[in-house]
Amino acid sequence: MSSPLAFVAPLILATAEEEGGHAVEHFGDGGVLAEFAWLIPVVPMVAAFAIAFFGKKSPLKGWGLAWGSMAFVAVYGVALFISNLIEGITYEGAISIGDIGTDASGHTLGLEWGWMVDGLSIMMYMVVGVVGVLVFTYAKSYMEGDIRFTWFFASFALFGGGMLVLVSAPNLIQLIVGWELVGVASYLLIGHYWEEHENSSAAIKAFLTNKVADVGLFIGAIIISLSVGSFRFTDIMEHISHGADHSTLAQYSFWAGVAIFIGAMGKSAQFPLHVWLPDAMAGPTPVSALMHAATMVTAGVYLIGRLFPFYNTPGFADDVRWIIIVIGTLTLFLTGLIALVADDIKKVLAYSTLSQLGYMMVAMGAGAYTAALFHLFTHAFFKSLLFLGAGSVIHAVHSNNMSDMGGLRKYMPQTYTTFMIGSLALAGIFPLAGFWSKDEILASIQYAGSNYTVEQGGAALANFVLVVAIAGAFVTAFYMTRAVSLTFFGKYKGHGHPHESPKMMTYPLIALAGFSVVAGWINIPGVTSFFTDGVAARFLAPGDHHATALNYGLAAVGTLAAVGGIVVGYFLWFADKDTQQERDKFRIPVLYPLLEHKYFIDDFYMDGIVRPLRGPVARAVDWFNGHVIDLVINGAGVLSVRLGKIVYWFDQRGVDGAINASAAAAGGTGGMLRLLQTGRIQQYAFLIVAGTVALVAGFIIF
Amino acid sequence: MIINQFLLLGAALFSIGVYGVLSRRNAVLVLLSVELMLAAVNINMVAFDRLNQDVMAGGQVFALFIIAVAAAEVGIGIAIVLLIFRNRRSANVDELDLMKL
């Protein structure tokens, strides 16, 4: 690139495969708003470092800076979102940093820092900003009095900033930078209460699980970049738009697709790499709210969405979609069941998040880009609401366990109301946000089942997945009924007197409850298509399927499943009796222990992988430490002693000798010359005369 | 004009003076010997003046200067010797090793 700051002209290559058509053919460049969108990731990052260095001296101890940066992102994100609805924006700004060599075909691989402003990233900016600012508001009150208050907000701002770096990335390298920033920040935040060993090991678990998956992302990124000859998404998309026939990428794309998906499985916590997410509850509740809603777990879905044409174009990684569907289906159903047996309210919500992430991945796999992102969008609001509500409850009763709760609706009316709205939205009850997004996912799976015949048995698989997804809706409603019943109904079983949380905590809940109600209305099939049009604004149209009319039969089945879950849950847990906790104790012989032990996956990782490796690794490290490092250190010590001796000798004999010798020489000379100075005038006079005579004689002779 | 006699006289007188300065013990006699050396120089001055037939008579003028300066010098010298004799009860040059200090 010749100029350091280049504007990449919009590249419109294909239009969406539409049924009724809202064909988006021309996009604007977003004007000044997009040009300065680089501020979105930069402001929170700067705030994070400013808080870390100067936070303690500032009047609000760093909270103000963190909140301000998130408020900025929220306002900017909403402004971009609105202008994107008026006219689709596709803009890519980039600053060239340098070249990192050439690939086999002679292309120079440029390293760039840039900012992508298109429908997909704008949607993410808004979600991160809006959810972020509400969570940060809540966190001020929640974290009040914490000994590492300032440090918490520095990490929290870094968390948001890292996610925004990831989202704004126009190339794979910057995406990986943001990806890792999010990983580091999550490590810091999950281990915030590191005084307890359990919490710090949860942080390590999250970090290492993500690292395992990151290897996949790196391999995928390397394969794609080297075969396309660029790290940029626009170049990759352009390459894909030319078709698979002459593509260098196409022949490796299956493995590249699998590798990238493994990366996404880590961040988005897909089965069987989901184990870190429930343990990540060790962090403070606002962290969980942000992590489960806007940042971190959405990154994997975002990545698949960003590379969606790669997964959706025949000849490229479209075979990987069936793997995505299978993994997503396993995640959505199996983890949802675990939520039924968890006692920790945050764990219930964590497994619920896993289940919803499964839905998103299934939708991506079924080729429904819009549906997956729409579910991400609505889920962000009601899941952050539920977590903040749970945090409010935990704040009141000082326990995470639902067995210490019960009957809280009388004490905490606002938390109860908002939590109820969040639960209904999550369960997918009409007309709340979850209903619309879940329905759209079901519709797109059905569409995949009836239309996609990419592989033998593909349609049959999709139909099976549809059944599982509907069952998942039932399970979702079921466990949320349980959580609400055990927490807010029945008799209070804890100690002390629960009280409603301060306004600074309840107002964000109310705001999020509002979003949880209305967020779905921007994409009602056949009525509104703001969201669909918004996220379709991309350099290469995603080319997904989007239903333009509500499928009443499917919507009815989905709603029935949810209502069924609530009804069954009501009969099992709701009855307001003393025995409510005992009702939770019924045990189904094989299934219950299996769920309680989380399918023994954690145990397998611990006993099957970690423990057998840990001993030998520890011994090897010990041996290395004792034999190699100590050897080097001891060797250095011995060498120092030897060297010291040489220097001592040189100092004593060499330097001191020279000094003493010059002193002795001066003394000797002085002693000899002293003899001359007798003080006798006649002797001096004799010497003068003798000298004169000698000189005269010399002149005469020579 | 024959200058040799004058120069030989000057040289003899100067040598006697040098001998006196180096060998006499008494400070007064040392000063006296210095005067002899100056007298030898004066003889040379006047002799060469006459030899060169100098219009300005520079040699004779310098001889007069030297006589005047020598008178002053002897005056100071005798005063020093007198003071040393008063302090030490001796004007013996051998014992005067004060310049060593």
Tell me which residue in A677, A685, A689 faces B100 most closely, judged by beta carbons. Answer: A677
Name A152's Cβ contacts closer than 8 Å, sequence gap at least 6.
A139, A143, A146, A189, A192, A284
Confidence of residue A464 (pLDDT cuts 50, 70, 90): confident
Confidence of residue A193 (pLDDT cuts 50, 70, 90): confident
Distance CA A608, CA A273 (A): 15
- Do A333 and A432 belong together in one domain? yes
SS3 of A85, please?
Answer: helix
Q: What is the pLDDT of residue A602?
A: 76
Q: What is the pLDDT of residue A699?
A: 94
**Touching check for A467 and chain B: CB below 8 Å?**
no
- Do A581 and A614 belong together in one domain? no
A232-242 tens-digit pLDDT:
888 888 888 88
Of A368-382, A416-430, A518-532, minimum mean pLDDT range: A518-532
Q: Which residue among A596, A612, A628 closes a domain? A: A596
Please check the confidence at residue A577 and state whether its pLDDT lies above 60. no
Name A162's Cβ contacts closer than 8 Å, sequence gap at least 6.
A45, A178, A180, A181, A182, A184, A185, A295
- Residue A547 burial by Cβ neighbours in a 10 Å radius (0-12, 13-18, 19+): buried
**Does residue A291 lie within any of the structural domains?**
yes
Q: What is the DSSP secondary structure assignment for residue A526, as one 8-state letter?
A: T
Mutate which: B97, B98, B101, vs A, most A CBs within 10 A: B97
**Does residue A697 lie within any of the structural domains?**
no
Min Cα separation A672/chain B (Å):
15
Q: With contacts defined as CB-CB under 8 Å, which chain A residues touch B93?
A: 680-682
CB–CB of A679 and B99 under 8 A? yes
Q: What is the pLDDT of residue A452?
A: 60
A664-674 tens-digit pLDDT:
999 999 999 88
Q: With contacts defined as CB-CB under 8 Å, which chain A residues touch B30?
A: 681-682
Q: What is the pLDDT of residue A17?
A: 37
B6-54 tens-digit pLDDT:
999 999 999 999 999 888 888 899 999 999 999 999 999 999 998 888 8
Q: What is the pLDDT of residue A270?
A: 86
Q: Which residue among A543, A561, A596 closes a domain? A: A596
**Touching check for A696 and chain B: CB below 8 Å?**
no
- Residue A169 burial by Cβ neighbours in a 10 Å radius (0-12, 13-18, 19+): buried
- Do A155 and A250 belong together in one domain? yes
Min Cα separation B100/chain A (Å):
4
Please check the confidence at residue A697 and state whether its pLDDT lies above 90. yes
Give which of A60, A63, A291, A73 is closest to A185, Cα–Cα: A291
A60-111 tens-digit pLDDT:
788 888 889 999 999 999 998 888 888 888 888 888 887 777 666 666 777 8
- Do A337 and A400 belong together in one domain? yes
**Does residue A56 lie within any of the structural domains?**
yes
- Do A592 and A608 belong together in one domain? no
Please check the confidence at residue A14 and state whether its pLDDT lies above 60. no
Element (H, E) at A566: helix A552-569
A317 or A131: which leads in pLDDT: A131
Check: pTM over 0.80? Answer yes or no: no
Give which of A124, A135, A131 is closest to A40, Cα–Cα: A124
Other Cβ atoms less than 10 A from the Cβ of A326: the count is: 17
- Do A412 and A493 belong together in one domain? yes
CB–CB of A680 and B18 under 8 A? no
Please check the confidence at residue B75 and state whether its pLDDT lies above 90. yes
Give which of A84, A108, A127, A139 is closest to A231, Cα–Cα: A108
Please tell me the total count of domains within chain A. 2
CB–CB of A678 and B21 under 8 A? no
Q: What is the DSSP secondary structure assignment for residue A341, as one 8-state letter?
A: T
- Do A539 and A628 belong together in one domain? no
**Touching check for B91 and chain A: CB below 8 Å?**
no
Give which of A262, A276, A260 is closest to A308, Cα–Cα: A260
Q: What is the pLDDT of residue A13?
A: 36
Q: With contacts defined as CB-CB under 8 Å, which chain A residues touch B97?
A: 678-680
Q: What is the pLDDT of residue A648?
A: 92
- Do A646 and A577 belong together in one domain? no
Question: Can you tell me the ipTM of this complex?
Answer: 0.83
**Touching check for A403 and chain B: CB below 8 Å?**
no
Distance CA A54, CA A257 (A): 44
Q: With contacts defined as CB-CB under 8 Å, which chain A residues touch B18?
A: 689
Q: What is the pLDDT of residue B38?
A: 93
**Does residue A355 lie within any of the structural domains?**
yes
- Do A551 and A626 belong together in one domain? no
A148 or A600: which leads in pLDDT: A148
Q: Please tell me the number of Cα atoms within 13 Å of A150 on its side-chain side.
A: 14
Helix axes A253-267, A320-338, angle to 10 degrees: 20
Q: With contacts defined as CB-CB under 8 Å, which chain A residues touch B99?
A: 679-681, 684
Confidence of residue B69 (pLDDT cuts 50, 70, 90): very high
**Touching check for B100 and chain A: CB below 8 Å?**
yes
Q: What is the pLDDT of residue A1?
A: 35
CB–CB of A684 and B96 under 8 A? no
A130-141 tens-digit pLDDT:
999 999 888 888
Q: With contacts defined as CB-CB under 8 Å, which chain A residues touch B94?
A: 680, 682
Q: Pinpoint the alpha helices (H) of A368-409.
A: 369-397
Q: With contacts defined as CB-CB under 8 Å, which chain B residues touch A685?
A: 21-22
- Do A319 and A358 belong together in one domain? yes
Confidence of residue B70 (pLDDT cuts 50, 70, 90): very high
**Does residue A553 lie within any of the structural domains?**
yes
Q: What is the pLDDT of residue A404?
A: 77
Confidence of residue A526 (pLDDT cuts 50, 70, 90): confident
**Percent of chain A whose pLDDT exceeds 90:** 12
Q: What is the pLDDT of residue A587?
A: 62
Confidence of residue A635 (pLDDT cuts 50, 70, 90): very high
Please check the confidence at residue A221 and state whether its pLDDT lies above 80. yes
Please check the confidence at residue A15 and state whether its pLDDT lies above 90. no
Distance CA A114, CA A111 (A): 10
- Do A294 and A208 belong together in one domain? yes
Q: What is the pLDDT of residue B7?
A: 92
CB–CB of A680 and B94 under 8 A? yes
The per-residue pLDDT of chain A, averaged, comes to 82
DSSP states of A601-657 as a string? HHHIIIIIIIHHHHHHHHHHHHHIIIIIIHHHHHHHHHHHHHHHHHHHHIIIIIIHH
Chain A stretch 647-686, residues whose beta carbon is closer than 8 A to a beta carbon of chain B: 677-682, 684-686
Of A162-166, A439-443, A537-541, minimum mean pLDDT range: A537-541
**Does residue A20 lie within any of the structural domains?**
no
Distance CA A262, CA A270 (A): 9
CB–CB of B22 and A686 under 8 A? yes
Chain B stretch 20-59, residues whose beta carbon is closer than 8 A to a beta carbon of chain A: 21-23, 30
User: What residues are paired with A110 via a beta bridge?
Assistant: A99
Q: With contacts defined as CB-CB under 8 Å, which chain A residues touch B33?
A: none
CB A605 within 8 A of CB A275: yes
Nearest residue on chain B to A682, alpha-carbon basis? B22
Confidence of residue A564 (pLDDT cuts 50, 70, 90): confident
Q: What is the pLDDT of residue B42?
A: 94
Confidence of residue A22 (pLDDT cuts 50, 70, 90): very low
Q: With contacts defined as CB-CB under 8 Å, which chain B residues touch A673?
A: none
Q: With contacts defined as CB-CB under 8 Å, which chain A residues touch B100?
A: 677-679
Please check the confidence at residue A663 and state whether its pLDDT lies above 90. yes
- Do A665 and A682 belong together in one domain? yes
Q: Which residue among A572, A596, A620 closes a domain? A: A596
What residues make up the domain containing A683?
Answer: 602-688
Chains A and B form CB pairs within 8 A to the count of: 30
Please check the confidence at residue A9 and state whether its pLDDT lies above 50. no
- For chain B, which residues make up each domain, given as ranges? 4-88
Element (H, E) at A314: none
Q: Domain B4-88 adopts which CATH fold?
A: Helix Hairpins (1.10.287)
**Does residue A22 lie within any of the structural domains?**
no
Name A578's Cβ contacts closer than 8 Å, sequence gap at least 6.
A491
CB–CB of B97 and A682 under 8 A? no
